[in-house]
Structure 1
Amino acid sequence: MTATGPAYPLATTTWDEAEYDAMQRVIASGRFTNGPLVREFEAAFAAHFGAGFGVMVNSGSSANLIAVAAAVLDPRIDLNRGDEVIVPAVSWPTTYYPLTQYGLRPRFVDIDVDTLNLDLDLVESAIGPRTRAIFAVNLLGNPNDFTRLRGIAEAHGLVLLEDNCESLGAVHDGINAGTAGLAGTFSSFFSHHIATMEGGVILTDDEQLYQEMISLRSHGWTRELPVQNFVHDKTGDAWDDLFRFVLPGYNVRPLEMEGALGLEQLKKVPDLIAGRRENAAYFRERFADVDGVRLQRETGESSWFGFSLVLEGPLAGRRSEVVRAFSAAGIESRPIVAGNFTRNPVMAHLDAVVPESLPAADKVDVDGLFVGNHHYPVHEGIDLVAETVERVTAEVS
């Protein structure tokens, strides 16, 4: 480590003076929560990714919660307690928790060890009489094969949801990640593609679902809905309509400051994604002849949240040695999300369907890690990662 920080950090800021000026304008305005700047950002975010509606909340995890809640509570959607939802065995816990909190049963399916996303052959074989939905995850910037995924969902009458919290800006077959299904979720936490301090967004083309999510975000009331709406019509008397609660909601509203930051960050998205993709091209070139690692195979156009390494050959079973070498060289690294999530003790509290074997997820759990990517050129950092891997390989061979 150097005095100024790691040689190759996991995440870095995407802010400049525009973001700090935006925060100062909010401070001067005196309006701090869930106001017109949030509304403006929601509309701009939806338009940018080609969706009809956007709902901002306080985190990507809350985005998953609200999306699942709306799908369960929507009277048009056949999604009820005891129904099964197909999920990948590698993801973040808040992909799974909202499902179990609403009485749904996650049915874990193994991933493709190359793409790190759902193995779609296994998805098809996992569909049973109680399967009602697929909650797909686009991992580390890599989109799923949306054309095939949509086809599977449509053929079996399944609701398709996307956890796109790591993959803003990814595209497959002309479909923007986060817009392939009924709803898609995004995160704007510091380490993600854009940062609003904390924050999350849900996109959908379904106006009724949008209105349900707006209600669920704020206590389940009707206050922010039009007088005539899909959830519960209002009287039209503003005072009388202040406190009418119609859905079992939450308080996961965003700050007005986060909306202001989002507007500035959204302007930078094309350049932020282009920078990450340029780094990825160099990363793949630099690692083309590096032994002992399997890289993530891009599906469509990844937005390259980070660079995964699945250790194999001479490095298989030696992740701790690689991590120690990275730390000594000033390279920050992390597990690939939560590895095989079903190995976590929290599973004792979750009603889920887990197959006897999840070999790809287990491989990631034991031998997977990732390093950061950034929106500016990091060729020297990538060289450092490669050189460190090569050195460890030489030492153990």
Structure 2
Amino acid sequence: MYYELAASTWGPEEVEALHRVIDSNMFTMGENVRRFEQAFAAKFGVKHGVMVNSGSSANLVAVAALAYKREKPLQRSDEVIVPAISWSTTFYPFQQYGLKLRFLDVELDTLNMDVSKLEAALTPRTRAVAVVSILGNPAALDVVRAFCDKHDLIMFEDNCESMGATLNGKPTGTYGDLNTFSLFFSHHISTMEGGMILTDNDELYQLCRAMRNHGWTRDQPADSMLFERSEDDFFEAYRFILPGYNVRPLELSGAVGVEQLKKLDGFTAVRRANGTYFTQRFAADPRFIIQRENGESSWFSFTFILNPNMKLDRKRVMQSLKAADIGYRIITGGNFLRHDVIKHFDYDCVGPIINANIAHDHGFFVGNHPFDLRDRIDTLYQVLDEATR
């Protein structure tokens, strides 16, 4: 394809790392995963990292940990404030643990949660805010952090689309009590499949380690806060303390992650250069609403909303992009409230959901990559200019 949605970020270093693991004949979670966890946490200035097999699993394990912490665990019928636009597995774990979701609209220009509605969303049952930085663009994480601190709420930061972004000089994925990342093929760095949880909280860290690994004690430190060891080593080897999962990563993924993490800064710099050029080409054109950068985006992709006041034909645009061999897709799944699965949720909306519907009906995105895309962006402009005349 001339201009793909996603492209490989691997080089010979990642292939060599795979061969080292294969030669070792040790494939299940071990030393390479541990090294990657430590390097990832250090990179972002957070105390603990827990690697799992996907960003979706990172969200699941993190929510599960919140349901089993000693003080004020999440309980069924508790409420969590969420944005109307995000990937499905931002929302699923909260539903699966019995929480009610309160949806807020998004800002049309940033595509992130409209934090001006946070106070209106607060009820006596509110326990958490799940905030998402959409497609590389930092949400108002500082505002959400202050709101959560003021009201003694959990801040759950889903940073699966925005690794490498910063707000006020602080990396996204470090503002929350629990922070999640995706390491999928199309994301900023890739371990094939993979995810990461970051936290500074010792108890949540230990809970996440137990929940990813059958809920047993084998993955716990000697001074675990979760249980007291007995002297029966035979039993302790297979002692289960939590209703956990098996979402462990492979050593192959951990080894690749160590190499990919070394390249993140370089990848991000090139993505930002592409973002600057993209903005120069499209920002002044009234036909297109593009993301207004909040802080420093890591530019996962380039989003468009066709100006609804100009009655432009998105189907014609899609046909033109397809003919030009340019990949495209809906913005992060669009408005989640528009999907069939919502019938399985306990939820309500705080005020009208307007902008998420506009993005759903008039929006799309194309890819960004860690290599020079100026020629493709020029072609993209030509195609969209012709398709929207």
If the TM-score is normalised by the length of the shorter chain, which range does it land in?
over 0.9
Flag structure 1 segments of 5+ consecutive residues without an equivalent.
Answer: 1-5
1:283 aligns with 2:250: no
Residue number in structure 2 paired with 1:53:
48
Per-residue Cα deviation, 1:163-187 (whole angstroms, up to 9, x for no partner): 1000001110122111101011000
Instruction: Give secondary structure in 2 for the equivalent of 1:116.
Output: coil
What is the CA-CA distance between 1:74 and the residue it aligns to?
A: 0.6
Counterpart contact for 2:117–2:350, Cα < 8 Å: no
Structure 1 residues 76-225: aligned runs within 5 Å? 76-225=71-220
CA contact (8 A) 1:277 1:303 kept: yes
Letter in 2 for 1:166: E
Equivalent of residue 376 in structure 2, options 381, 388, 391? 381
Contact 1:326 1:333 in 2 (8 A): yes
Alpha-carbon distance in 1 for matches of 2:379, 2:230: 64
Equivalence map 1:174-323=2 (5 Å): 174-235=169-230, 238-312=233-307, 316=311, 318-323=313-318
For residues 233-282 of structure 1, the C-alpha deviation after alignment (integer angstroms, 9 at most, x for no partner) is: 22365543211100110000000000000000000001000010000000
Q: 1:115 to 1:236 in 2, by over 3 A?
A: farther
Could you say what secondary structure the match of 2:2 adopts? coil
CA drift of 1:355 comes to 4.4
Contact preservation (8 Å) 1:74, 1:209: yes
Q: 2:326 aligns with which of 309, 323, 331?
A: 331
SS in 2 for 1:266: helix
Looking at structure 2, the residues matched to 234 and 142 of structure 1 have their Cα atoms a distance apart, in angstroms, of 45
Quote the RMSD (CA, aligned, Å).
Answer: 1.3
Shift in Å, 1:44:
0.3
Aligned-pair identity in percent equals 48
* One-letter code aligned to 2:216: W
What is the alpha-carbon distance in structure 2 between the residues aligned to residue 314 and residue 151 of structure 1? 36
For the residues of structure 1 that align with 2:207 and 2:18, how far apart are their CA atoms?
29
Question: Relative to structure 1, is the Cα distance of residues 337 and 77 closer, same or farther in structure 2, using a 3 angstrom cutoff?
Answer: same
Alignment of 1:32-47 (within 5 A): 32-47=27-42
8 Å contact kept, 2:120–2:350: no
CA positional deviation for 1:157: 1.2
After TM superposition, the structure 1 stretch with the greater mean CA deviation from structure 2, 147-156 or 256-265, is: 147-156
Check 1:314–1:351 CA distance in 2 against 1; reply closer, same or farther (3 A cut). Answer: closer
Counterpart AA for 1:259: G
- Give the count of matched residue pairs: 389
In structure 2, C-alpha distance between the alignment counterparts of 1:176 and 1:240, rounded to whole Å: 42
Q: TM-score, normalised by structure 2?
A: 0.98
2:62 maps to 1:67: yes
Inter-partner Cα distance in structure 1 for 2:268 and 2:387: 31
- Of stretches 133-142 and 314-323 in structure 1, the one that deviates more from structure 2 is 314-323
AA aligned opposite 1:90: I
After superposition, the C-alpha distances for 1:300-334 in whole angstroms (9 at most, x for unaligned) are 01100000001115754521111111010011001
